[in-house]
Amino acid sequence: MNSAEQLIERVLSGETRAIARAITTIENHGDAAAELMRAVFPQTGNALIVGITGAPGAGKSSLVDKLAFYYRHAGKRIGIICVDPSSPFSGGAILGDRIRMATLGLDKNVFIRSMATRGNLGGLSRATVDAVAVLDAAGCDIVIVETVGVGQDEVEIVKTADVSVVVLVPGMGDDIQAIKAGIMEIGDVFVINKADREGVLRTQKELDALLSLAHRPDMWQPPIVKTIATENKGIEDLAAAIESYSDFQKNAETASSRRQAIAKWRLLELLQERLLNDLLDKNGTGERIEQLSAEIATKMKDPYSAVEELVAAGAAKN
């Protein structure tokens, strides 16, 4: 048994350190990641994947922590992936997961991991989806994917979950309008967190009005759950709402087309990353890209002609 097979074996038996190593392998992509994922993939499909998104400051982290505690008390194994569009200058990691490890992470049935982008060319969504698959194969009953941002990548990541939860706070009048276009339609369950704050009724009314305008292909009426995560209130209701959508979508006529759309998105993401890496791996391409970047920066060359040249050179090397 080679070391890759050993790693896979240990991941499938749920060993925490092996899981951590596997996710690092995924983040670094390349052949090792592909081999790992080929072995992991057939073992997936047992976990319930819950995506949680919402504006910064909505209290998503507290909510995720309390939800994780709830599931733990019900005897479940939990995985948490926190997706963070990291510092673009330093590419540095965040402190969040270390702080949270202090409360939840001592429990060997809870696996927590932050994922951030590395360098300029994302691959974050692909890496996140693969990390979720690893946790699924490793025997987690519930995998929670929490996104820090509310941009395009985050929307796409949350779309791949079985159940998507959108978190709002009272008094977000403007915000509801602002985030409407982006994340309103992906919510299978809505949470109004910090529900002891002023304006909760108004937020609920606005949300009701917006939801009544939405046309979901599966005809689901997303429930609105009120929580005060810091006081552990409403968490049971949230778990029940998540379960009710999970049950619903298993039987929905649209379930298979949704799964196929997710599979296609994932396939195209992976394909795109692979095609670029194949080209970059060719002799001299990396160097030529640096030269071309300098020429583009000084306007000696336009980017489209540069791409033309790189593609032609890549084809010649086949």
What is the footprint of a second copy within residues 151-180 (CB under 8 A)? 151-156, 159, 172-175, 178-179
For 43, the token pair is: 């073992």
Token pair of 248, please? 């619903």
Which one, 99 or 201, has the nearer CB to a second copy? 99
Strand partners, 51: 145, 164
88 binds a second copy (CB under 8 A): yes
Interface with a second copy: number of residues (CB under 8 A)? 93
Chain-centre distance for alpha carbon 60 = 14
Radius of gyration from C-alpha coordinates of the chain? 21
Residue 224 vs 310, nearer CB to a second copy: 310
CB of 273 to a second copy, least distance (A): 8
Q: Does 283 bind a second copy (CB under 8 A)?
A: no
For the CB of residue 170, give the shortest distance to a second copy in the complex, in Å: 12
Q: For the chain, what percentages of helix, strand and coil (3-state, to nearest 5) are there?
A: 55, 15, 30
CA 313 – CA 310 distance, rounded (Å): 5
**Residue type (1 letter), 153:** D
Q: List Cβ neighbours of 206 (8 Å cut-off, separation of 6 or more).
A: 173, 176
Distance from chain centroid for Cα 139: 18
Nearest approach, Cβ of residue 73 and a second copy (Å): 26
Q: Which residues pair with 83 in a beta bridge?
A: 115, 147
How far is residue 97 from each of residues 128, 184, 313, measured CA to CA in Å? 15, 27, 44
Residue 52 interacting with a second copy (CB under 8 A): no
What is the footprint of a second copy within residues 198-237 (CB under 8 A)? 215-217
* One of 101, 210, 310, 313 touching a second copy (CB under 8 A): 310
- Shortest distance (Å) from residue 308 CB to a second copy: 8
Helix (H) or strand (E) holding 62: helix 60-73
**Burial of 89 by CB count in 10 Å (0-12 exposed, 13-18 middle, 19+ buried)?**
exposed
284 binds a second copy (CB under 8 A): no
Looking only at residues 17 through 46 of this chain, which bind a second copy when binding is defined by CB under 8 A? 34, 37-38, 41-42, 44-45
**Footprint of a second copy on 127-156 (CB under 8 A):** 147-156
- Of 18 and 292, the one with the shorter C-beta distance to a second copy is 292
The verdict on 57 binding a second copy (CB under 8 A) reads yes
Torsion angle, alpha carbons of 41, 44, 50, 55, to 10: -10
Among 28, 87, 103, 221, contact with a second copy (rule: CB under 8 A): 87
Question: Is 305 near a second copy (CB under 8 A)?
Answer: yes
Does position 289 interact with a second copy (CB under 8 A)? The reply is yes
Task: Closer to a second copy by CB, 16 or 285: give it.
Answer: 285
Contacting residue, 15, 141, 185, 237, with a second copy by CB under 8 A: 185
- Tell which one of 13, 46, 103, 260 touches a second copy (CB under 8 A): 260
Local structure of 148: helix, strand or coil = coil
By CB under 8 A, tell whether 66 contacts a second copy.
Answer: no
CB of 71 to a second copy, least distance (A): 23
DSSP 224: E
Cα 171–Cα 162–Cα 52 angle in degrees, nearest 5:
30
Query: Per CB under 8 A, does 192 bind a second copy?
Result: no
Q: How far is the CB of 85 from a second copy (least distance, A)?
A: 4
- Quick check: 84 binds a second copy (CB under 8 A)? yes
Separation between Cα atoms, residue 75 and residue 305, nearest integer Å:
58
The reply on whether position 102 binds a second copy by CB under 8 A is no
